[in-house]
Amino acid sequence: MYVLGIESTCDETAAAIVEDGRKVISNVISTSVKEQALYGGVVPEIASRRHAEYISATVDKALADANMTIADVDAVAVTFAPGLIGAVLVGVNFAKGLAYAANKPLVPVHHLRGHIAANYLTHQDLKPPFLCLVASGGHSHIVLVEDWCRYKILGRTVDDAAGEAYDKVARTLGLPCPSVAAAARDGNPKAYKLPVPHVEGKYNVSFSGLKTAVINEVHNAEQKGQGVNVADMAASFQERIDQILAKKLLAAAADTNAQQVVLAGGVAANGRLRQLVNDGAQKLGARVFLPELKYCGDNGAMIAAQGYYEFQDGNLADWSLNGLPTLPIDYR
Ligand code: ZN
């Protein structure tokens, strides 16, 4: 079964064809990230306008790269939540029009379910149940994936998501986002003593206090007429976030006796986090699955992959499908 996946929740306009949820036939991404960088973050209005400009050509190219026309596709899957609502609606409306005109089933896909499904593209033998840390943009969740379309949230961020904290720290340090990781490469992760924020709930995380600690250090240093060492601060911040995420995920893995531990989302591209989770899971005797770097960011292939399983599960939308800015991963 060939599924066309369409994604437009943030600054990437993306489309892909995936066979049976596992095999990427084509994968096309158009992005407004360079333009957005001029403003130090994603401007929703610019994102929506670029999606509207790019989406038709992006989907055409995904079909052309696969040597297909829309007639060869078995279903159209689209991210309908959560995301910047103006951006989400561009993808949803395009997918509705296309599916209606071509008389194809329309499959609604939750963005975070898509990030998790990116792992199915890399690991052909990965099947639920597994424990997953999905961390991307505005979301950090520790989720038990009980089945292809069944999720249990064990922990979540109580304030800023890891991605948001990264963006704010990048701005405070005068770095173009997303380059905390690049700056951290030359830094000493032990140079600055940053706090471990206290948080209620065994698997919940909090990054707001950590972010504020960085901002305070930078301001204090500026007032003394000194600067902070940007590389050292970036490295110290990243190390602390990675330690927190890895610790919570591994605690949940130990408590649930997880045999498979999975990373998903933009933060899964982080080398140090991958290493910490790998080392910890090995001690627990659990297998670790990491998505390929090219599928860590937003893409259409991950939406087509999850779309295949949603279709199998009978999750189809009619022409009244609407986009939503927020929606829990276990909504259905
Ligand atoms: Zn994402």
Write out the DSSP string of 260-301. EEEEESGGGG-HHHHHHHHHHHHHHT-EEE---GGGTS--HH
What's the gap in Å between 303 CA and the centre of ligand 1? Answer: 10
What's the gap in Å between 268 CA and the centre of ligand 1? Answer: 11
What's the gap in Å between 12 CA and the centre of ligand 1? Answer: 9
What gap in Å lies between CA 97 and CA 232, rounded to an integer? 50
> Whole-model pTM?
0.93
What gap in Å lies between CA 16 and CA 313, rounded to an integer? 21
What's the gap in Å between 191 CA and the centre of ligand 1? Answer: 31
What's the gap in Å between 220 CA and the centre of ligand 1? Answer: 34
The total number of residues shown for the chain amounts to 332
What's the gap in Å between 109 CA and the centre of ligand 1? Answer: 12
What's the gap in Å between 112 CA and the centre of ligand 1? Answer: 7
What does the angle CA 245 – CA 144 – CA 161 come to, to the nearest 5 degrees? 35
Query: What is residue 318's predicted lDDT score, i.e. its pLDDT?
Result: 97
What gap in Å lies between CA 250 and CA 91, rounded to an integer? 36
What gap in Å lies between CA 219 and CA 52, rounded to an integer? 41
What's the gap in Å between 290 CA and the centre of ligand 1? Answer: 16
Ion ligand 1, residues whose Cβ is below 5 A away = 136, 298
What's the gap in Å between 207 CA and the centre of ligand 1? Answer: 19
What's the gap in Å between 116 CA and the centre of ligand 1? Answer: 10
Instruction: For the chain, 332 residues long, give each residue's pLDDT as a single digit of tens.
Output: 999 999 999 989 999 999 999 999 999 999 877 787 777 677 888 888 999 999 999 999 999 999 999 999 999 999 999 999 999 999 999 999 999 999 999 999 999 999 999 999 999 999 999 999 998 777 889 999 999 999 999 999 988 878 788 888 888 888 875 578 888 888 999 999 998 888 888 999 998 899 999 999 999 999 998 889 999 999 999 999 999 999 999 999 999 999 999 999 988 888 889 999 999 999 999 999 999 999 999 999 999 999 999 999 999 999 999 999 999 999 99
Residue 241, phi then psi, degrees to nearest 5: -60, -45
Q: What number of other Cβ atoms are within 10 A of residue 25's Cβ?
A: 19
What's the gap in Å between 266 CA and the centre of ligand 1? Answer: 7
Q: Decide if 272 contacts 42 (C-beta within 8 A).
A: no
What's the gap in Å between 82 CA and the centre of ligand 1? Answer: 9
What's the gap in Å between 107 CA and the centre of ligand 1? Answer: 18
DSSP symbol at 26: E
What's the gap in Å between 83 CA and the centre of ligand 1? Answer: 8
Query: What is residue 150's predicted lDDT score, i.e. its pLDDT?
Result: 98
What burial class does residue 180 get, using C-beta atoms within 10 Å of its C-beta: 0-12 exposed, 13-18 middle, 19+ buried?
buried
Query: What is residue 178's predicted lDDT score, i.e. its pLDDT?
Result: 58
- Please, which residues have CB within 8 angstroms of residue 196's CB and are 6 or more apart in sequence? 240, 243, 244
